[in-house]
Amino acid sequence: MEAFLLSGMLDEVDLVAAPPRAKPPLNGTVNPEVCTEIKECLVKETEKGATSILQTRTYDLFITYDKYYRTPRLWLYGYDEERLPLTESQMYEDFSQDHAKKTVTTEQHPHLPGMVMPSIHPCRQADVMRKLIETVAEGGAELAVHQYLVIFLKFVQAVIPTIEYDYTRHFNLDWPS
């Protein structure tokens, strides 16, 4: 045990961990107090003011079951390229404008106290899912229970087209009988 303590494994500060980086400026300037290398901080702007560097966002997806509507419910929590939480307005930039503030609503997560996040409201999901399942049935095929979640995620893809999470195979609703 003494060798373990001397090795530093119980130290709370990791001496080899990289320090957190500050966000680079978006005006093409370099702040030498923040940047360690010019390459990582210099952001070139195009004529329209948009940056030429692709800004990535990451989302945590939570799926709960809504007992009232009896459907799955998808919750989203977004992070920027520095893993800092996105604001509500930043997250709504990634949602289809036809569905923002209508199908996508911001509410309290039912199982994570204090977490308010956007979700796909389940009020019309059952109808949409029923129509999709009927379309498959009209094509002569039958959906197994385990395929429901795949269909649900493909439905959600229409509401949130900018988020890539669906790496399943192509799903054809007009299956031959």
The CA-atom distances, in angstroms, between 75 and each of 48, 66, 102 are 33, 11, 15
The CA-atom distances, in angstroms, between 57 and each of 78, 94, 139, 170 are 7, 9, 38, 25
Of 123, 126, 137, 173, the catalytic one is 123
| Residue 100 · residue 110 · CB < 8 Å | no
Strands (E), 36-120: 58-66, 71-79, 104-108, 116-120
Distance separating alpha carbons of residues 30 and 40, to the nearest angstrom: 10
| Residue 52 · residue 42 · CB < 8 Å | no
- The amino acid that residue 165 corresponds to is Y
Among this protein's residues, is 123 annotated catalytic? yes
Q: Which residues are catalytic?
A: 123
